[in-house]
Structure 1
């Protein structure tokens, strides 16, 4: 491929939260970084609801004005939508971020730190330190010591590095719109119905500013397709006023969600994977923002060590298999949830949530303090998990 040539320490493929986090941390440590993303505008083509859990809010300095009101209340519904179970935490548990502006702010932070950002640029492939990309300036050969795959659940970088790839995927779809009036108590509404969300949940998050109405599940088990299922759900979704059920302006989101747990092989001597590309998503809740930030910290520490010492074997410690063992319980619950294929079974299982044991288990999942596991030597590799976001401004 003819065209221009770029030389850099690290090529990051994907300018989502994970890729921008790695790029910022490495650039702050003095390494040259090039970040590419196929989008020309990072505020478009959003795929995530943007739910930040309390642990993330505690540990990372996210821009306050880009976060919605705090949510303490979760309401769980059976397929009938009648007689739900309501759980209320004593602490602020969730906030929904404005993901487009957060990505844009993260990109500015990366550029300020010294990274080069190339938007509208597609990754074509490569190996052995040479990676071909194409964008507004035409074809470019990027010569990099390492490549970082932050390119989503179906990562092409993972293929080129011969690393593990996600095989257990849900497909999700969501509508987002401005609500007509504020609410007294923002809530996270979850519907357990295999017709609506086969193997997962339908959700409504109304924080008084925006409403997110979504569903996700195994694609082969949606009888009418995920989009038509979402449209039907929106007509009866809980937590909305009648005025909000037919909004004039709707933002559509969607995409694959890896739920097979953190992949085992996520690094090679030539690079590594972060975010969805690494399967850094909770197998049970499908929450990915907290894992993506924490795994990106580990990735940046490993790359920094390899670049400083000149020893590629430093990436061996970036081991998905060691971390994956911490997800055993959640993987088992993911398997159990996948087996619920009939609304009668979902209704029967829902009755457990009405018992003291069921409510306690639900509170532990929804309000617990567990987070993405620390690697065995995390104390020596990263000591300030919030550092890379302190400079995110808008």
Structure 2
């Protein structure tokens, strides 16, 4: 059935064990895992087509590719090269790996595949259905035709993005440190060496970086940074970046435009309550330094599914206490500190001086550790 809406009308009131709000990879993955264990799971998303309004570049790192069964036909060619550029764009630091480090996903296709998995496991996926609030075990929903309904859910999962409404309704923490990102996707003219080009420029990407990813099939041109530091807006910075970006072939019309907020404050402390929990961007499950969120979202969803399965099987909502963001957050301290340090560099000249450290052997070792790391999201050790 792909990513279309389930057939049949939604009744005015219905029951479910778990209501998942948001049909991104995090929400669909936790739904499939729970439904596969025999629980009644419903997923709602206000979008009628999950392939539209994509908010991620879709870059999967090696650990994700090794550990998760992603459909091969929805992944682009492997990338082994990262090139880091200072504001002057001169003398990049080029890092080559002997392993396949990145692959860019066809996100509309992946959303369709994850939707199919959730449905095949027994989850009910209702697109074109907006979440309007939750209280006293009842979630208020509104269909695309404006018709209201009520889902009586034992637990609610907030997979509804960086500015999660579920987090507010469950009185959980919400993201405060956010970058804003924008991206355009083009058809590639082909490349001899697929590469991930990164531009460190405090004006074009204040506090973060600009990128050109060309895997030979598609080119992703993007920038992200602190919204208040884009004087003319993020899309104007995108146009300026396109004029100078390395590795960017002649630009045809964009196939797709993407954008949205990116949480970079690290995993939130309070991500569960007796009524439910948060996953993905809603939980702040994004690397504070690299802003990569696909590996964390899948791994945290598995941890969330385990906690919810325990609570549903035992009948004890206290089992959700094991889903503790404060305990996991400690593993992010170093990267949160590096994120803050990166945000302090505000002029191209200062960035050029800082970039000089990346040309040294220790600097290149550090860069390789960041881009080619064997680490993954810090889940708790098995009991």
Normalised by the shorter chain, which TM-score bucket? over 0.9
Deviation at 1:136, TM superposition (A): 3.7
After superposition, residues 1-394 of structure 1 pair within 5 angstroms as 4-136=12-144, 138-180=147-189, 182-241=190-249, 244-245=250-251, 247-375=252-380, 378-380=381-383
- Distance in 2 (alpha carbons) for counterparts of 1:278 and 1:156: 12
- Distance in 1 (alpha carbons) for counterparts of 2:144 and 2:292: 34
Q: Say whether the 8 Å CA contact 2:184–2:254 is kept in structure 1.
A: no
- Distance in 1 (alpha carbons) for counterparts of 2:254 and 2:288: 32
Extract unaligned runs of 5+ from structure 2. Answer: 1-10
Deviation at 1:256, TM superposition (A): 0.1
Task: Name the SS for the 1:379 alignment partner.
Answer: coil
Q: Which runs of 4+ in 1 moved over 6 A?
A: none
Deviation at 1:379, TM superposition (A): 1.8
Normalised TM-score (structure 2): 0.96
- Distance in 1 (alpha carbons) for counterparts of 2:311 and 2:129: 27
Task: Name the SS for the 1:86 alignment partner.
Answer: strand
- Distance in 1 (alpha carbons) for counterparts of 2:240 and 2:204: 9
Aligned residues: 373
Task: Name the SS for the 1:322 alignment partner.
Answer: helix
Q: Say whether the 8 Å CA contact 2:26–2:301 is kept in structure 1.
A: yes
- Distance in 2 (alpha carbons) for counterparts of 1:249 and 1:147: 37
- Distance in 1 (alpha carbons) for counterparts of 2:342 and 2:12: 50
Deviation at 1:248, TM superposition (A): 2.2
Q: Say whether the 8 Å CA contact 2:16–2:42 is kept in structure 1.
A: yes
Q: Say whether the 8 Å CA contact 1:12–1:33 is kept in structure 2.
A: yes
Task: Name the SS for the 1:283 alignment partner.
Answer: coil
Q: Say whether the 8 Å CA contact 1:128–1:270 is kept in structure 2.
A: no
- Distance in 2 (alpha carbons) for counterparts of 1:342 and 1:240: 24
Extract unaligned runs of 5+ from structure 1. Answer: 381-394
Deviation at 1:354, TM superposition (A): 0.5
- Distance in 1 (alpha carbons) for counterparts of 2:85 and 2:170: 43
My pick for the range that moved more, 74-83 or 134-143, is: 134-143
- Distance in 2 (alpha carbons) for counterparts of 1:119 and 1:61: 24
In angstroms, what is the RMSD of aligned CA positions? 1.1
- Distance in 2 (alpha carbons) for counterparts of 1:251 and 1:374: 34
